[in-house]
Amino acid sequence: MLTIQGKRLRSFCDQLTRRDFLRVGGLGVGGLTLANLLAAESQAATTNDHSVVMIYLPGGPTQHETFDPKPHAPIEIRGSFGPISTKVPGMQFCELLPKLSSMSDKFSIVRSLVGMANRHESFQCYTGRPGGRNGDGEPSGGWPTLGSVVSKVLGPSRNGVVPYIDASPEMSYTPYRNRGIHDASSAISWPGITGPAHVPFALEGDVKDDLVLNGIDLTRLADRRSLLTSLQSVEQIAAGEGLDDYQQQAFGILTSSRLAEAMDLEREDPRSIERYGKTQATDPSFGGAPQDATRFLMARRLVEAGVRCVTVSFGAWDWHANREGPIDQLSRKYLPVFDHALSTFLQDLDERGLLERTAVVVWGEFGRTPRINPKGGRDHWPNTQSVLVAGGGIRGGQIVGSTDDTGGVPASRPVHVQEVFATLYHSLGIDVEGVKIPDFNGRPRYLVDENRQPIRELL
């Protein structure tokens, strides 16, 4: 860890007076430093510039009120909203998603996903597997997330930017966080078999000390002008320290890198920020995330900077009708914001030429029941759900699989969650048949199980 002493600072909110110092790339896990990480991964770094953005919808979104409407079913199944035609002939979405409907040729929908468990946790979305309980077959060390695998296999980008960033807000329900915390289980599958070097670089939340400047956490990095001013004196010191290549690279990530610039939203055109829309809070009782479209904007900026995997949580979708209101009310409030934010993000990627090399997946931990419950909500339903996938060489304008007349089970082409992971790995240029990662007992583990392959209809 490189520490550079300097002038004294004013007191912070914790009433402590701290010295002006720079800690380069401290990950806050086991004393690991970014310089160590870069050195260890130098052989893995490639010129591959593909990325993936995983948008996690905490709580499990309804398929009926989004991408799999059932207009001919009884009212207690179809709900209050009708279907709307999309840009693709024969494809219909819920009428509350007009903006996504108008650009449906840019993405595809899997309507028949299987393989998720009835567990309120982000883990199975981020890893493609269940974990934390007896019978899950987790290896010693725990299953790694998609981003951890990408970090391990591909390493930093050629720009020296860290490969894996979690841009999610901190959420009060801890199993929703990208931390390997499980629902109704004391086990924590963290950091997984890839090890602590490959946990996500978190922009806020539990790992705020990932990167500390002058005792100031990442939330202060947006003030780029102050950052550069405070570094003017220490850059000369660092230049004379005889730093090795990896220390210099780590130092550069803070002083002049694309990463620091990407995290500075003040550099973004105000019209672009306005285009993404205002943040809408979700009811705190859900324990989920706000509908904050600037998280999508940040994801776009991070992908532009060279980050290989970005994870974002958006909204709160546990719509039993035991919080805030029935599903009709929740749909009218939250779906138009989701529609606007996601369509803007996909359009922005496309306009900038980024969608071609950036795979996007949008999903929750399970779907919702076909029948609306007596309170006016839909309950947990792991039997199937709808998933949006786009970019990175994935064909747009496709519907993969179908569900029965109630939207409850696959009627054709069940798609396993690990097929989605195989598709994302394929988009990134990672061979799921050839790449294996040893667990903590030295046993090699495939990235997906049971010979799962990329979704052929999307390639």
pLDDT classification of 46: cutoffs 50, 70, 90: low
Q: Which fold has domain 46-207+267-458?
A: Alkaline Phosphatase, subunit A (3.40.720)
- Listed in sequence order, the residues at least 6 apart from 229 whose beta carbon sits closer than 8 Å to its beta carbon are none
What is the DSSP-derived secondary structure letter of residue 30?
Answer: T
Q: What is the mean pLDDT of the chain?
A: 84
DSSP notation for 65-117: TTT---TTS-HHHH-S--EEE-SSTT-EEETT-HHHHTTGGGEEEE--EE---
Judge whether 336 and 273 are in contact, CB under 8 Å. Answer: no
Tens digit of each residue's pLDDT (9 = 90 or more) over 327-372: 999 999 999 999 999 999 999 999 999 999 999 999 999 999 999 9
Helix/strand/coil for 440: coil
pLDDT classification of 47: cutoffs 50, 70, 90: low
Most confident of 144-158, 234-248, 391-405: 391-405
Rounded distance, CA 419 to CA 296, Å?
Answer: 25
| Residue 156 CA to its chain's centroid (Å) | 18
Mean pLDDT across 147-174:
91
pLDDT at residue 438 greater than cutoff 70: yes
Tens digit of each residue's pLDDT (9 = 90 or more) over 129-141: 999 999 999 999 9
Cα separations in angstroms, 156 against 34, 49, 297, 358, 377: 11, 10, 21, 16, 44
Tens digit of each residue's pLDDT (9 = 90 or more) over 245-266: 544 444 545 543 577 778 888 8
What is the percent of the chain with per-residue pLDDT over 90, rounded to a whole number?
A: 71
What is the DSSP-derived secondary structure letter of residue 178?
Answer: S
Judge whether 294 and 273 are in contact, CB under 8 Å. Answer: yes
Tens digit of each residue's pLDDT (9 = 90 or more) over 66-109: 999 999 999 999 999 999 999 999 999 999 999 999 999 999 99
Judge whether 218 and 227 are in contact, CB under 8 Å. Answer: no
Judge whether 214 and 230 are in contact, CB under 8 Å. Answer: yes
Q: Hey, what amino acid is at 283?
A: D
- Listed in sequence order, the residues at least 6 apart from 5 whose beta carbon sits closer than 8 Å to its beta carbon are 19, 20, 21
Task: Kindly list the domain boundaries of the chain, sorted by start residue.
Answer: 46-207+267-458
Q: Which of 448, 449, 445 is nearest to 426 (CA)?
A: 448
* Diameter of the chain measured on Cα atoms: 75
| Residue 311 CA to its chain's centroid (Å) | 2
Q: Which of 76, 84, 80 is nearest to 328 (CA)?
A: 80
Q: Which of 55, 27, 258, 297 is nearest to 157 (CA)?
A: 258
- Lookup: tokens for 429: 């240029």
